[in-house]
Structure 1
Amino acid sequence: MNIVSSIMPPEELSQEVVRDFPEGEFLFFDGIEAAGESFFSAEVFITYGEDLTEEHINKTTKLKWIMVMSAGMDEMPLKSCKEKGILITNARGIHKIPMAEFALGTMLGHVKQKALLMENEKARVWNRNLPIEELHGKTLLIIGVGAIGGEIARLAKCFGMKVARVNRNGRENPWTDGIYPVSGLTQILPEADFIVSILPSTPETKHLLKEEHFIAMKDSAVFMNIGRGDLVEEKVLLSALEKKQLSHAYLDVFENEPLPEGHPFWSMENVTVTPHLSSRTKNYLPRSFEIFKHNLHTYIKNNKDYMNVVDLERGY
């Protein structure tokens, strides 16, 4: 069984998986170009999901399973994989701890005026009259709950926040106080102090937020996007920020990345830009490989106990 990886993991991880699965012939490369012809001999392929093309899939004859070591499927040739009957699993869920901490840290920093405090420190300004607030009692709206949103909700409840959620499947979550369909966004938005989106990029979520949604927000509301940048057209968000229809936007993802040097978001006082790093953690690959190892056991045993099977129609 040839297992080819376009990810070059730390040596301790590669040695561990080779040791645990002696029935596999593992080849690790730094990128699919480095893998070259080895890719076409693979029965199992490990990737971040950004290097495969339709041409790769159409030419392969042995590939049966792709393990994507990320959650996003934006650049995966899903149609070709479906036509070939290739199983795809991903690392969905491993981001919940770093991304939930990022979201709560950002919200805390906002109410505690962290950015202004840092500016005052640099300028040696002693000002005890800053409008410091609390998260306690604030209403958080999470768009797209899932594993990440569920962890954000859990941590938010620890701070005494009210938590509402919007999603399509209506799954219960013990940490949320109310569930709304996507069609009910304008109903709950006027109550939200913080709006956090963790939605993936799919045909259903692309440009989901419209002008009407920002009009419905409190002018004191804070919008945070740590999901995908195509949730809202940039011109719509720019207009809402210029019109002060919301207080602040914390943006970790963008329609085009990296964000161009001259983009207005860089210089707007009511925007904070971070370079798509909310999910970053040194535990990323170890957690991904735990899912891979579980699924490789399943693959070898030929049973159905896979984690995170991707629906090739929905794209997640």
Structure 2
Amino acid sequence: MKIVSSARLKTSIKNKLTKNYPDLNFYFFKDMEEASEDVYDADVLITYGEDVTNEMIIKSKNLKWVMVISAGLDQMPLQAIKEKGILVTNARGIHKIPMAEYTLAMMLQVSRQAKQLMKNEQERIWDRRVPMLELNDKTVGILGTGAIGSEIAKYCRFFNMNTIGFNRSGRRVDEFDQIVTLENINELLHNSDFIVSVLPSTPDTDGMINEKLINEMKEGVVLINIGRGKNIVEADLIAALDGGNLAHAVLDVFTEEPLPEKSPFWGMDNVTVTPHLSGISPHYQPRAFAIFEKNLNTFLKGGKDFINKVDVNRGY
């Protein structure tokens, strides 16, 4: 069996795989350009997902399984994968701890005026009038109640915050005080002091956070996007920030990445820009490959009970 990785892996990960599975043939490459010729006769492909092309899937002769060691699949050629009946699994859930920590850090940064305090420090200004707010008893609305959204809600409850979650089905999730759907999403929008988007990129969610939705948000809300840049109509968000309806936006993802230097977001005092790093952690690859190894054992036994199996029709 030939297993090809186009993801740049840690040496410790590569050594562990070759040691644990001596009968399998692993081919490790630093990127897809280097791996391209070997992909076409691979049985299994390990990738971050953004480097897989439609042509590659069509030309592959033996490919049975693609392991995406990230959560996002918006750049994957899912239709071609579906037509060839290829299994897709991902690393959904491994980001929950760093992304929850990022979210709480940003909520504290805004409520405790960290940017202003650092500016005052640099300019040697002693000003005790900078307004300080508490997270205690505030309400957070979280768009997406999966592993990441639930972890964020759990952390928020440590700060005695009220938690409202949004999902499509209305399914109850333990970490949330209340769940809403599209039918009653205004309950989340009207009552949340912070709104956090962890939505995937799908036809239903792309552009979901638009002028209409933003106008329903509570005045002075802080919006945090760690899902996908496509979830937000950026022109509508800029207009709302300029108009004062939103107090602040923390943006880790954008429609175009890297964020162009000409983007208005860079120069806005009520915006915090970070370069798509909310999920970064030194534990990222070990957690991803713990999932891969469990699925590999299932795959080798001809089983069907895979962790994080992706529905290629839905894209997640």
Counterpart amino acid of residue 245 in structure 2? Q
5+ residue gaps in structure 2? none
On the 8 A contact 1:141/1:166 being kept in 2, the answer is yes
Q: Which residue of structure 2 aligns with residue 273 of structure 1? A: 273
Q: CA deviation at 1:93?
A: 0.3
Counterpart amino acid of residue 218 in structure 2? K
Q: Which residue of structure 1 aligns with residue 62 of structure 2? A: 62
Alignment of 1:160-239 (within 5 A): 160-239=160-239
Q: Which residue of structure 1 aligns with residue 130 of structure 2? A: 130
Q: Does 1:107 align with 2:107?
A: yes
Q: CA deviation at 1:186?
A: 2.2
Q: Which residue of structure 1 aligns with residue 262 of structure 2? A: 262
1:90-130 Cα offsets, whole Å, 9 max, x none, are 00000000000000111011111111111111111111222
Q: Which residue of structure 1 aligns with residue 246 of structure 2? A: 246
5+ residue gaps in structure 1? none
Structure 2 CA distance for aligned equivalents of residues 298 and 61 of structure 1: 22
Q: Does 1:306 align with 2:306?
A: yes
Q: Does 1:10 align with 2:14?
A: no
User: What is the total number of aligned residue pairs between the two structures?
Assistant: 316
Structure 1 CA distance for aligned equivalents of residues 122 and 279 of structure 2: 29
Counterpart amino acid of residue 187 in structure 2? Q
Please provide the CA RMSD for this pair: 1.0
- Please state whether the residue corresponding to 1:26 is helix, strand or coil: strand
- The TM-score with structure 2 as length reference comes to 0.98
Q: CA deviation at 1:210?
A: 2.3
Counterpart amino acid of residue 129 in structure 1? R
Q: Which residue of structure 2 aligns with residue 75 of structure 1? A: 75
Q: Percent identity?
A: 49
Q: CA deviation at 1:212?
A: 2.0
Structure 1 CA distance for aligned equivalents of residues 262 and 203 of structure 2: 29
- Please state whether the residue corresponding to 2:258 is helix, strand or coil: coil
On the 8 A contact 1:185/1:213 being kept in 2, the answer is no
Counterpart amino acid of residue 312 in structure 1? V
Structure 2 CA distance for aligned equivalents of residues 233 and 188 of structure 1: 19
On the 8 A contact 1:98/1:280 being kept in 2, the answer is yes
Counterpart amino acid of residue 162 in structure 1? N
